[in-house]
Structure 1
């Protein structure tokens, strides 16, 4: 097992922040967390761009403070190169589970890690 680095811990913290309703509903906070080159392939198979995600995020699952939230588990991360972390985890939301993979990058000596790429793959219900 690989030792968890400060970079991996920073990526995990960023992933958790993006699951927080207060970040999901704040365009300015979400903008800080997503790299301008961001792309996502969602669990539905839809491809999302940076601008599409920022526009839709406040209406997506997990954006209501008093509503259901993503429950993440099994985080693993690898520092691929300076300023680039590959992070994986599983989430549960409303009884549905997904495996998630994301790339986090930190550019130009900046202090902020930003999500560059994200993909979610549904986990079939038990017995399927």
Structure 2
């Protein structure tokens, strides 16, 4: 697997996690989040694997009938074999957010899983 293959696979997993059907499915979302997952959300709240799976279906972007995340400027870097850092922006309705996530793949039998995520809301008028 090349460097770009690993980054591309992590990007594909990130995009899948933004899909409302995946976000509404604790089973599928649980396969994309690492059991040691931690997030610092745009609100400043700290999320763990268990809390995120229990509440993700009720989060914005989790309903096919509501606005969905629209990612842009997604890029990644291979930090080490099986460890990728992604950065990107999203729009959800009028809310713009910058994101940083770390994805890891422990072995070939397991897919890429999000280990850490951080989101920062961007105020209107900020480039």
| TM over 0.5, shorter chain | yes
Unaligned runs of 5+ in 2: none
What's the offset of the Cα at 1:127?
5.9
**Structure 1 stretches (4+) deviating beyond 6 angstroms?**
none
- Unpaired runs of 5+ residues, structure 1, are none
Task: Report how far residue 46 of structure 1 moved.
Answer: 0.2
User: Please, what TM-score do these two structures have when normalized by structure 1?
Assistant: 0.94
Let me know the Cα RMSD of the aligned residues: 1.6
User: How many Å separate the matches in 2 of 1:106 and 1:11?
Assistant: 9
- Shift in alpha-carbon separation, 1:6–1:126, aligned structure 2, 3 A: same
Residue 100 of structure 1 is matched in structure 2 by 99
Q: Mapping of 1:62-77 within 5 angstroms?
A: 62-77=61-76
Q: Figure out how many residues of one structure are paired with residues of the other and give that number.
A: 126
CA separation in 2, counterparts of 1:127 and 1:27? 34
Correspondence for 2:22:
23
* Aligned-partner SS, 1:43: coil
Structural mapping, 1:106-117, within 5 Å: 106-117=105-116
